[in-house]
A and B are shown apart, each in its own frame.
Chain A
Amino acid sequence: MNTREEVGEFSKLYNGFMTVMRRFIFKVLCVGPIPNHISFIMDGNRRFAKKHNLQDLDAGHRAGFVSVTHVLQYCQEIEVPYVTLYAFGHDNFRREPEEVKCVMDLMLEKIELTIDQAISGNLNKLKVIFIGDLNMLNERLKAAAQRLMEVTEENKGLMVVVCVAYSTSHEIVHAIRESCVRKCGDGDSPQVLEVSDIEECMYTSIVPDPALVIRTGGRDRLSNFMTWQTSRSLLHTTAALWPELGLWHLMNTREQVGEFSKLFNAFMTVMRRFIFKVLCVGPIPNHISFIMDGNRRFAKKHNLQGLDAGHRAGFVSVTYVLQYCQEIGVPYVTLYAFGIDNFKREPEEVKCMMDLMLEKIELTIDQAISGNLKDLKVIFAGDLNLLNERLKVAAQRLMELTEENRGLVAVVIVAYSTSHEIVQAIRESCVRKCVDGDSPLVLEMSDVEECMYTSIVPDPDLVIRSGGIDRLSNFMTWQSSRSLLHTTAALWPELGLWHLVWAILKFQRMHDYLQKKQKLD
């Protein structure tokens, strides 16, 4: 009946539901007092990039910017009037020049993006101000920052103060200098500085003192940030790195959040297992094939720079999908990792992907050796002779290590295409016929099918293609005569629990019909 639009609507419904839940939680939160001004020390971007093996210098900071947008949205919904973001400190200029330039370019890019948003009228409830020693920034960045400030000057709503080239020590000295100059200029008043004179000249005089300072990255210090203004502030540290900061972290102190998020994760796992239990009342596919499409588009969509950035994100999806299939109890899973047509890509890109595959296989070998992969058997199918030596050897090693395992059989399909498979199978079966003197020199279908790369698994019941594309792209067209072909608009790294559940529900609806077809054959 329907094509992939239905999943798009399903995930819209899901997002809508999550938004309603979130607003409800905020309403409950707002019964008590809400901080007038929250300051964020956005620490941990570089550690995040290292943790997730993101290659580029600004990769962690890009992920951090996504966090910024979420945090500002939540603060707006909770109706916090002032938010300060510690973006770049004076001390950070001492980093590698290349890294500093990268961060500055990223800031410029995001400011220009925000200016466009503001001009199109999407930022009516946000007023952005930049404070700090703006003369330390390059001309373009300074001009862009000033432009954004002008464009949002009239806006009412959340005031966001972005601290760049800022440090408390510099601020205090600057304030003293400024107030001295004013005193000299102003002949009448006595030549004595008061606290109020100095505070008037501080960068942060435009906002009240922060009620709450949240530092991510698990560090317990203020790092030369607003030490003057935070005498009465609650200083809260969370172990989460800045790009990992989420809704629940805004709620409580460190220990409680740690336990709270553990509870939350445990709750989600129980919910998930329960959903799977319900799903398993009906028939479950014996073999699910995944065409993992959309990695490159994902990288482009999120502006991830490295050639393999999208594929790395894709690998994370692979681990989740295998985990879910194991929990549901699907016996066979096939993953279309790399096709023969993909060798036609740029040599640099192909090499990048091969290196990534090697890295992940070696990681999996380590897991297998430490005994963490008891329930998984990994097989590589396809023309392995087209792979480089190291990769081929690693693949064979992983196959040997997991050979005895019982549980989910994950077939990773590399250097494969249906047309190549059919031709190779014919060749192999012909050669076998010639060698085997006794049997008549006529090929049967079983002879050819025995020699196919995919002879080790039964035909797939369900083929799931991510990326919103309607074709099989030379993948298992021979074996999928009775398969339900399901496409989802989500890109492969975005594929999640609900997409899988939806596909299986669809399979269950059509199961009787497909069984009938099989019997007719």
Chain B
Amino acid sequence: MDSNEPMLLLSSRIGQIGDLGLDLLWRFLHIVVSLFHIVSGIFEAIQSYAISLGLIQKYSSVDIEKLRCLAVVLDIEVARDVAKVVELLQWLKTIGVKQVGLFDSQGLLKKSKDMILEMVPGSTLLQETGEKDISPDRKEGIAIEFISSSDNKEAVVKAANILLKRHLKTSHPEKDEGNNVFTESHLNEALRVVGENVHVPDLMLVYGPVRSHLGFPAWRLRYTEIVHMGSLKYMRYGSLLKAIHKFTGVRQNYGV
């Protein structure tokens, strides 16, 4: 019995040292990865400044017509910085973007929407109107939409309740398969009734530490190109131009 104790102690000590060793290796691995990101970030910053100064030929013109609807996802920490958001919108307007959806999960931007609309000259609030809405004064301006998490799953559930009511109105709801009520176009319509915009954004720019859509309306997100732009605080015009330019070169198969 006594001889077992020191053996057990020894093996547990060895185990602890082994764990410590692994821990150190893991931390070292992450340090290497972080260094890689730092160096990579420096190169990107240099490229971005070069693009802003117009030094790189291929980014000097962007075929903006391809980008019909842009979505910008903002992390809540960055959404508080309204001045930066306004600056971003001004850049987008300069590039020629006509329609922007600003999303933050908590709806902070919705609360500041009047202030934002005021501070960005030529901006209007996007209304859920018909497909083509080209009024003369809209040509130069930018239409902004404010989206939050409540427009995602909760909106779909509200729309589902509308469909439920329609289904109940059919003569035998328990037996009916519901082919006349439960289709994608019916759901689109129901979402419009609830007051949601169903336009699908072509490109989504994510400003935040992580490339995640953070709860942007799932129904609209299906074929959207998702690009991670980094932090809003250090946003760069060159990176924005590069992301939009890259989007215009993308080809979609839609599964075919």
B37 within 8 A of A: yes
**Is A485 a contact partner of B226 (Cβ separation < 8 A)?**
yes
Within the assembled complex, what's the spacing in Å between the Cα atoms of A433 and B161?
11
A20 within 8 A of B: no
> Hey, which chain A residues are within 8 Å of B41, CB to CB?
1-2
Q: Between A and B, how many residue pairs show CB distances below 8 Å?
A: 170
**Is A431 a contact partner of B213 (Cβ separation < 8 A)?**
no
A344 within 8 A of B: yes
**Is B157 a contact partner of A477 (Cβ separation < 8 A)?**
no
Chain A proximity of B97: nearest CB distance (Å): 18
Within the assembled complex, what's the spacing in Å between the Cα atoms of A483 and B106?
17
Chain B proximity of A265: nearest CB distance (Å): 24
Within the assembled complex, what's the spacing in Å between the Cα atoms of A226 and B235?
69
> Hey, which chain A residues are within 8 Å of B76, CB to CB?
520
Report the interface size class on chain B.
35 or more
Interface hits, A446-490 → B, CB 8 Å? 448, 470-474, 477-478, 480-486
**Is A443 a contact partner of B164 (Cβ separation < 8 A)?**
yes
Chain B proximity of A499: nearest CB distance (Å): 14
Considering only CB atoms, which chain A residue lies closest to B183 in the complex? A423
Chain A proximity of B38: nearest CB distance (Å): 9
> Hey, which chain B residues are within 8 Å of A6, CB to CB?
36-37, 40
**Is A441 a contact partner of B225 (Cβ separation < 8 A)?**
no
**Is A422 a contact partner of B218 (Cβ separation < 8 A)?**
yes
Within the assembled complex, what's the spacing in Å between the Cα atoms of A477 and B219?
7
A444 within 8 A of B: yes
Encode contact with A along B208-234: 1 for CB under 8 Å, 0 otherwise. 011111111011011111111010000
Chain A proximity of B85: nearest CB distance (Å): 20
B107 within 8 A of A: no
Interface size on A, residues (CB 8 A): 62
Q: Of B37, B174, B182, B214, which is within 8 A of A426 by CB? A: B182
> Hey, which chain B residues are within 8 Å of A423, CB to CB?
182-184, 187
B14 within 8 A of A: no
Chain B proximity of A336: nearest CB distance (Å): 11
Encode contact with A along B238-256: 1 for CB under 8 Å, 0 otherwise. 0000000000001010111
Within the assembled complex, what's the spacing in Å between the Cα atoms of A433 and B227?
40
Considering only CB atoms, which chain A residue lies closest to B173 in the complex? A434
Q: A1-B41, A471-B225 are in contact. List 15 more A-B contacts (CB 8 A).
A: A2-B37, A2-B40, A2-B41, A3-B228, A282-B30, A345-B255, A423-B182, A427-B178, A441-B168, A445-B153, A471-B223, A471-B224, A472-B226, A473-B223, A481-B152
Provide 23 A-B residue pairs closer than 8 Å at the C-beta atoms, listed in order of the A residue.
A10-B36, A281-B22, A342-B255, A417-B222, A418-B218, A418-B219, A423-B184, A426-B182, A427-B182, A430-B164, A431-B167, A431-B173, A445-B154, A471-B252, A473-B222, A477-B218, A477-B219, A481-B215, A508-B30, A509-B30, A509-B34, A514-B212, A520-B105
Which B residues lie at the A interface, using CB under 8 A? 22-23, 25-26, 29-30, 33-34, 36-37, 40-41, 44, 76, 105-106, 152-154, 156-157, 160-161, 163-164, 167-168, 173-174, 178, 181-184, 187, 209-216, 218-219, 221-228, 230, 250, 252, 254-256
